[in-house]
Each structure stands twice: as structure tokens, then as C-alpha cells.
């Protein structure tokens, strides 16, 4: 009985963990950490790094769990999501909602009392933007849902920046803009592959309302826009040549994937483009970080 109880407890904990979309949260927290490090003129306080990362992760996880509750009936009819804990009955709506609210409250407590009020307020706005405005309204009512709702997902580097500086400036907004422009081509590539799922669920995603060919064109156009936007950190002297080389190579790579998708039949290159988009964002922010510390070292020895 004791072993069975332990196994049940482990399975339940794993199910709760799945509602937080850990891979997505990890990518968001990474961009927030990059924002913190870029905002630090010297060594970053370990306390700020730990508590800001924790608070941002908790807020992101809370939003993801609320998304699971709101979308559970949609998830049940989609092949990609029907195995989630709520559609399968592993967890109840009430327990996941309580779990989400606890995570959100902990996030606000951590950010308010160990970081600063501005970061807590912005995290709350991002949480509401994703869990309420995007999930409950935009996602169900307009094919522009991911364009408008992408603002919430673009907030983590701004949160990281404000955690260190206590203010928002143009450099933080550049990081926001990169993710904001990256989000539509990233998500639309997946939406092309899952078009039938979204149609069955009654969601007005762009491939459903405007067709796959139109969506492919939009992805291609956005990748050109993303390449231009990704050069702004270099143009404004926020970053140097190391970042520029990375942004150019990664951006051209994204355009190549988008062009192959555009010229292909059906969804042949959709998931390859989606996978590359995740690689693109993580490595682009890594180039920002590498360039930042290379410049710090150069100035310290010059």
C-alpha cells in the first residue's frame, strides 16, 4: 500500500509538472536571465539572479497551468494535446486552478519582496495577458491572436532587465521587440501542421481562416522583418560584431527555412521550421550574452 501510494503521489506530481509546460518556461526564463545579465554593468547579484528567475518561472508556470484549465475541452479534441492531464482526467480542473493560483501568488510575493515592485507588476500584466486576454479571448476570436497575444510571451527579457535596473529603457524594449516579431512565424509553422486540429476545435488560427498558402507567405515576410529587427542591437551599439555575425547567420537560416516552407507543398517543412525557430531564439540570445561579456573583457584589458 505504501509503495502504491508513493507511485500515485509521483504520478500526480508529474502531472502537475506537465501543466506548467516546462520546456516553454525554460526558454522564457533563459531570455529573462539574458536580460538580467545584459542590464548588469558589473557582476550580477546572485540574490537577484536566483529570486528574479524563480519569480519569473513561477509566473510563467502559473499562466501555463491556467491555459491548461481554460483549454481542456479544446485540448481533448486535438491530437497534440489530448494526452494532457486534464483531458485524460488525471487531474481535476479545480486542483489545477488552485495550483496555478498558488504559483501566481508565490511569484508575486517573490518578485515584490526580493526583487522590486515594477518587475512584479509587469509579471502580473504578462500573466493576465497570456492566461486571460490571449487564452480566453484572442485565441478564440481572431486569426491575429498570436500577433496580439505575443506581447505577453515577449516580456521575460524586460522582466529580467527591470529586476536589475528597476526601470524600462530602449534596450529592454529591443529585446521585447525581437521576441514579439519572432512569435508569429514560430507559432504559425506549428499551426500549419496542426491546421486540422485547430479547425476541429473551432479556433480561428491563421491557416484555418486564411489558408496554408497565405500563412506560409506571412511566415516568410515575418522572417525578413525579424532579420531587420534583430540587427537593431548592433545598430544602436547595444551589441558588437560577434552578435552581428550571429544575428545575420541565424536570420538568414530562418529565412531559408521559411522560403523552403513557402515553396513546398502542404506542411512538409512546417515542423522543421518550427524546430529551427526555437533553436534560433535560444542561440540568438546566447550570442547577445557572449558578445556582451566579450566587450566587457575587451574594455577591461584595453
Residue 124 burial (C-beta neighbours within 10 Å; 0-12, 13-18, 19+)? middle
Q: So what's the pLDDT on residue 8?
A: 55
Long-range CB contacts for residues 236-240, cutoff 8 Å, separation at least 24: 236/170, 236/171, 236/174, 238/38, 238/171, 238/174, 239/288, 239/291, 239/292, 239/295, 240/291, 240/294, 240/295
Round the average pLDDT of the chain to a whole number and report it: 91
The answer as to CATH 1.10.357.10 being correct for domain 1-167 is no
Q: So what's the pLDDT on residue 6?
A: 40
Listed as ranges, residues in the chain with pLDDT below 50 are 1-7
pLDDT in tens, 163-213: 999 999 999 999 999 999 999 999 999 999 999 998 998 999 999 999 999
Amino acid at each position: 500500500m505504501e509503495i502504491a501510494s508513493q507511485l500515485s503521489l509521483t504520478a500526480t506530481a508529474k502531472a502537475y509538472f506537465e501543466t506548467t509546460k516546462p520546456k516553454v518556461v525554460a526558454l522564457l526564463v533563459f531570455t529573462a536571465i539574458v536580460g538580467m545579465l545584459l542590464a548588469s554593468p558589473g557582476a550580477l547579484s546572485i540574490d537577484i539572479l536566483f529570486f528574479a528567475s524563480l519569480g519569473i518561472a513561477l509566473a510563467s508556470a502559473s499562466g501555463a497551468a491556467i491555459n491548461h484549465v481554460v483549454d481542456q475541452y479544446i485540448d481533448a479534441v486535438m491530437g497534440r494535446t489530448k494526452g494532457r492531464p486534464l483531458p485524460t482526467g488525471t487531474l481535476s480542473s479545480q486542483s489545477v486552478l488552485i495550483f496555478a493560483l498558488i504559483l501566481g501568488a508565490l511569484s508575486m510575493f517573490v518578485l515584490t519582496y526580493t526583487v522590486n515592485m515594477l518587475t512584479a507588476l509587469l509579471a502580473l500584466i504578462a500573466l493576465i495577458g497570456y492566461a486571460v486576454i490571449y487564452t480566453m479571448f484572442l485565441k478564440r476570436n481572431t486569426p491575429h491572436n498570436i500577433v496580439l497575444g505575443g506581447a505577453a510571451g515577449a516580456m521575460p527579457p524586460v522582466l529580467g532587465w527591470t529586476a536589475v535596473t528597476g526601470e524600462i529603457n530602449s534596450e529592454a524594449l529591443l529585446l521585447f521587440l525581437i521576441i514579439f516579431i519572432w512569435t508569429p512565424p514560430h507559432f504559425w509553422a506549428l499551426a500549419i501542421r496542426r491546421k486540422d486540429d485547430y479547425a476541429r476545435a473551432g479556433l480561428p488560427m491563421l491557416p484555418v481562416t486564411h489558408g496554408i498558402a497565405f500563412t506560409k507567405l506571412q511566415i516568410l515576410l515575418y522572417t525578413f522583418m525579424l532579420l531587420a529587427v534583430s540587427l537593431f542591437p548592433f545598430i544602436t551599439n547595444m551589441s558588437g560584431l560577434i552578435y552581428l555575425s550571429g544575428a545575420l547567420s541565424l536570420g538568414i537560416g530562418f529565412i531559408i527555412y521559411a522560403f523552403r516552407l513557402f515553396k513546398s507543398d502542404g506542411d512538409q517543412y512546417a515542423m522543421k521550421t518550427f524546430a529551427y525557430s526555437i533553436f534560433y531564439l535560444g542561440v540568438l540570445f546566447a550570442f547577445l550574452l557572449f558578445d556582451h561579456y566579450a566587450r566587457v573583457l575587451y574594455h577591461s584589458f584595453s
